[in-house]
Structure 1
Amino acid sequence: MEAFVSAVNGIIWSNALIYLCLGAGLFYSILTRFAQVRHFKEMCKLLFSGNSSSKGISSFQALAVSLSGRVGVGNIAGVAAAIGFGGPGAIFWMWVVAFLGASTAYAESTLGQIYKVEEDGQYRGGPAYYFERCLGQKWLAVLFALSAIIACGIFLPGVQANAVGNAFTQVFGDGNMVVTSFGEVGTNKLVALAVILIVLAFIIFGGIKRIANFTQIVVPFMALGYIVMALIIVFLNMDKVPGIFALIITDAFTAQAGFGAAIGWGVKRGIYSNEAGQGTGPHAASAAEVDHPAQQGLVQAFSVYVDTLFVCTATALMILITQQYNVVGELTDGSFIVQNIDAATEIGSPAFTQMALFSVFGNFGQGFVGVALFFFAFTTILAYYYIAETNVAYLNRYFKFNIPLVLVKIVIMAMVSYGMVNAAGYIWDIGDIGVGLMAWINIVGILAIFFVAKPAILCLRDYEQQQKAGGDISFDPVKLGIKNATFWEKRLAKQQQSVPNSAEQPAGKTVEP
């Protein structure tokens, strides 16, 4: 099974996908005239604007839900894996993916807003919705929905849970060993599993509102605390910082682990971490209550910065400054190009990060990583559930599959249990397959959408023109030639009907519905 999973992962994550991700980011960066730079101030302003409603959540809550999916194991264990397999230069390529990916995140999240729908008293949207409504390709929509359900409902939760279990035992030890069908499992890990399942059940049975309320508190608090810990290490080692950045940049092109390895691991872990182009962000973005789709697109672009440029960089600096890492060679003989710590230290785990903090803060630092990882991974699992639920709702609405949502909840909890008690092994490869499947479908789809209709670009230009003109912001898809944006068409019609006829029309004429 491990060999099969590794082979499939190698096919999906070929160089074609790596360069497709970078190419799509560059493509949309040029088309938006690098909106991720030009509108940085506007992104920060929009974070705290807008309000939630009975049907939607606020921009900040949508950002928190999206960040809960982006800020997870990839920021702690994923960065360690990128350094361990790709060398310090892999971090540079994570930065490149984040910078270019911010424009991809804008495009996909704006599309999610444009083509969202209102059902069961809440807003829903995502790639499945915009593939059907913009491209008119139901088969592609169904393919993405199925891949998202499989990835977010089955493949990915186990990766997050596995890292939580490893971090928990690194801090508290294994406890007494219990023989199970999955081998011997420590009682401390089982206690952590019980806590996760109880809290997870309470939240996911409460819907998107409860998920948003939880994540908007936990995610900013933990991310800020994590960054503060990194800043302390940076401050105590200011003399080393220029050399670390020089190492990252020079190694990106003359990589210790091989130039191709640096790019491959940097892009793979970058996308796993910030999820730009993967198609997960549009689900939360679609649930936001905003005046214009471009607003939430810009907010989601900012979330990529938070994830990679802030949190991932914090992890990388801690590991590299304290030199708590190894770099494996290209050969499979177990040799190391760089070996600073015990060769038995598992690379695809939070160990590098925990050891880095332990070297400065002692047991407190190691425990802090365990707690941070617990919350990062837990909130990511919540985001995965919401994505899986949204795509099940899509299939139920359009194809009458009638998959009960309670089944999705049970499957998520079962995969969390499996990931927690299972050895790490190929579970990361399983997660990469899930990420790669969605990324292939979504990136090809949003590129096709540009050549068919250009809705995300038209939307950005419209928003910029309204900003320049001043006054209230609104969105009229018909005026822009955007078809099948039925939510916004109905919303605009209601707004026009609420205005007295005499205020807008000459006498004797009526307002078109």
Structure 2
Amino acid sequence: MNFADSIGTANELIWSIPLIALCLLAGLYFSLRTGFLQIRHLPDMLNQLKRGKESEDGTSSFQSLMMSLAGRVGMGNIGGVATAIAFGGPGAVFWMWTSAFLGAATSFVESTLGQIYKERDPDTGEYRGGPAYYFEKAYKHKARRLSLIYGILFAVVTILAMSFFLPGVQANGMASAINNAWGIPTWVTAIGLVILLAFIVIGGVKRIAHFTVVVVPTMALLYVLIAIVVFFLNFSDIPRVFSLIFGSAFGAQPVFGAILGLAVKWGVQRGIYSNEAGQGTGPHAAAAAEVSHPAKQGFAQSFAVYVDTLFVCSATAFIIISTGMFNTFSGESWPNDVIHEGHGGLSTEVEPGPGFVQQGLDSVFPGAGPTFIAIALSFFVFTTIVAYYYMAETNLNYLTRKMTNRLAARAMQRVLQALVLVSVAYGAVTTAGAAWGLGDIGVGSMAWLNIIGILFLQGPALKVLKDYREQKRQGLDPQFDPRKIGIENATFWEVRADEQVKRGPREEPFEKQLERD
């Protein structure tokens, strides 16, 4: 068995039916337990993005959202949607939407846990947190050894995924899109990308936050606006688009009936790859936020899932399906066994990925499609890789935070930075199939560990949600003291609550604070 076959076998093992079911059922379970907060607390999501402020040690909720979106909005939103349609049919889009809606509740739970158990970086003072931290701390008082082992396992898997498995997918998509648009060799793109990344990743979390807060919303908004233009220019085709999506999602259309299982698989798999709900990446950015109550950042990260999938991924799907620039292949067998050709006349030789979207836009804006997608994807990919590095660094920090030799810890950080840059360079020049296979292994491994973990550790997140709702009913701006609701080992918040007591309570009604702010 060669390396490519080994990747394929591992990918099939990880992304089997049990993981698909786990993602969907966990999302449904958390939706029920939280009273469908993804609908009920939509106003809180929007208010938190508007009112959150940064501090010297933490980012604002909006900055943390942008950091989170930097990791979410990338190759998965363009190339990932295209591959889902190519191998799962248009119905895969419906299952992407489903995974996003249910995943918003999962994202709240994991991101709230990230806030509850965050720490200060001993070197920089910045907030750090994520699944490794909450796995270790949540049950430290009951199962110290098991919690520590599980936290270390997740940290190691995440470092490998974020520094080796996933960056290559992003770099490959960017290099491919640039080559399609301008004929620039992939090795040239690799060199340029490595140089730019080296400047950003050495600057730390605050530089990452300030960079992403400008780039991510600008490019995402522009991309969605272009999709809206395509939507209205192809308005007469919209009923057909929705018919294809909903009909093939349940096998109602005979041509797609044989791949119904693949529609679910590719929809959920690419949905999780894109919006990352349950994968365990969102809590890293969530923990960096400066908020007065963990639930606030949980709401912000839930909204990130909506932005990623319901807005950006949907934009890609509408561009591809409305222009007819897609082909669907049976048994994931590109370029053979075509079971459906879109009406746009896309050659079956076009590899599923950014090329679908480039050709779709080119059919509406002749000559401009490949260029625009290459530019948009370049920004998306760049910010995504930066976010990957931040998450890899956070987990390395988790493993080294108690080392007395800080010089050795910083040396390991430099090694990590070099590994990410090498992975990016290699991914840009390798084949797309190998890159996607490695990326899926990384995503799936993290999802298995994190979802199982938060199903056991959900208690503190649910207590926090209840505490938030009770304080809001009293007309207060929710403040958090973990000891009042029986949460242990949340030392950061215990210290913060004690400091607030020394300064004196803030009893000003929440409504008056809103008026003043």
| TM-score category, normalised to shorter length | over 0.9
Q: State how far apart, in whole Å, the 1-side matches of 2:387 and 2:168 are.
A: 14
Displacement of 1:229: 0.6
Question: Any residues of structure 2 matched to 1:368-379 within 5 Å, and which?
Answer: 368-379=372-383
Q: State how far apart, in whole Å, the 1-side matches of 2:188 and 2:442 are.
A: 28
Displacement of 1:470: 1.0
Check conservation: 1:22, 1:100, Cα contact below 8 A: yes
Match of 2:454 among 443, 446, 449: 446
Match of 2:177 in 1: 167
Q: State how far apart, in whole Å, the 2-side matches of 1:221 and 1:350 are.
A: 20
Match of 1:355 in 2: 359
Match of 1:490 among 477, 487, 495: 495
Q: What amino acid does structure 2 have at the position aligned with 1:316?
A: A
Match of 2:162 among 145, 152, 165: 152
1:267 aligns with 2:271: no
Displacement of 1:190: 3.0
Q: State how far apart, in whole Å, the 2-side matches of 1:281 and 1:192 are.
A: 28
Q: Deviations over 1:79-123 (max 9, x none)?
A: 000000000000000000000000000000000000001122110
Match of 1:387 in 2: 391
Q: State how far apart, in whole Å, the 1-side matches of 2:47 and 2:243 are.
A: 33
Q: What amino acid does structure 2 have at the position aligned with 1:240?
A: D
Match of 1:13 among 1, 15, 25: 15
Check conservation: 1:322, 1:356, Cα contact below 8 A: yes
Equivalent position SS for 2:51: coil
Equivalent position SS for 1:337: strand
1:223 aligns with 2:223: no
Q: State how far apart, in whole Å, the 1-side matches of 2:183 and 2:502 are.
A: 65
Q: State how far apart, in whole Å, the 2-side matches of 1:73 and 1:494 are.
A: 44
Displacement of 1:197: 1.6
What percent of counterpart residues are identical? 51
Question: Any residues of structure 2 matched to 1:74-473 within 5 Å, and which?
Answer: 74-119=76-121, 120=123, 121-136=125-140, 137-174=147-184, 186=185, 189-254=186-251, 255-256=256-257, 258-330=259-331, 332=333, 334-340=336-342, 341-347=346-352, 349-398=353-402, 402=409, 404-450=412-458, 454-473=459-478
Match of 2:36 in 1: 34
Q: What amino acid does structure 2 have at the position aligned with 1:321?
A: S
Equivalent position SS for 1:369: helix
Q: State how far apart, in whole Å, the 2-side matches of 1:499 and 1:46 are.
A: 24
Distance 1:410 1:439, change over 3 A: same
Larger CA deviation: 219-228 vs 45-54:
45-54
Q: State how far apart, in whole Å, the 1-side matches of 2:23 and 2:241 are.
A: 27
Q: What amino acid does structure 2 have at the position aligned with 1:199?
A: L
Equivalent position SS for 2:339: strand
Aligned-pair RMSD on alpha carbons? 1.5
Larger CA deviation: 396-405 vs 82-91:
396-405
Larger CA deviation: 336-345 vs 107-116:
336-345
Equivalent position SS for 1:330: helix
Match of 2:75 in 1: 73
Q: State how far apart, in whole Å, the 2-side matches of 1:190 and 1:8 are.
A: 28
Equivalent position SS for 1:277: coil
Q: Deviations over 1:262-297 (max 9, x none)?
A: 000000000000000000000000000001000000
Check conservation: 1:153, 1:385, Cα contact below 8 A: yes
Q: State how far apart, in whole Å, the 2-side matches of 1:238 and 1:498 are.
A: 59
Equivalent position SS for 2:120: strand
Match of 1:181 in 2: none
Q: State how far apart, in whole Å, the 1-side matches of 2:84 and 2:304 are.
A: 21
Larger CA deviation: 228-237 vs 397-406:
397-406
Distance 1:321 1:256, change over 3 A: farther
Check conservation: 2:87, 2:332, Cα contact below 8 A: no
Displacement of 1:397: 1.7
Q: State how far apart, in whole Å, the 1-side matches of 2:298 and 2:476 are.
A: 20
Q: State how far apart, in whole Å, the 1-side matches of 2:445 and 2:418 are.
A: 23
Larger CA deviation: 332-341 vs 271-280:
332-341
TM norm structure 1? 0.92
Q: What amino acid does structure 2 have at the position aligned with 1:168?
A: I
Displacement of 1:426: 1.7
Displacement of 1:243: 2.1
Q: State how far apart, in whole Å, the 2-side matches of 1:399 and 1:28 are.
A: 37
Which ranges of structure 1 fall in alignment gaps of 5 or more residues?
Answer: 175-185, 504-513
Q: State how far apart, in whole Å, the 2-side matches of 1:495 and 1:464 are.
A: 21
Q: State how far apart, in whole Å, the 2-side matches of 1:30 and 1:471 are.
A: 26
Q: What amino acid does structure 1 have at the position aligned with 2:391?
A: I
Displacement of 1:465: 1.2
Q: How many residues align?
A: 484
Match of 2:4 among 2, 5, 9: 2
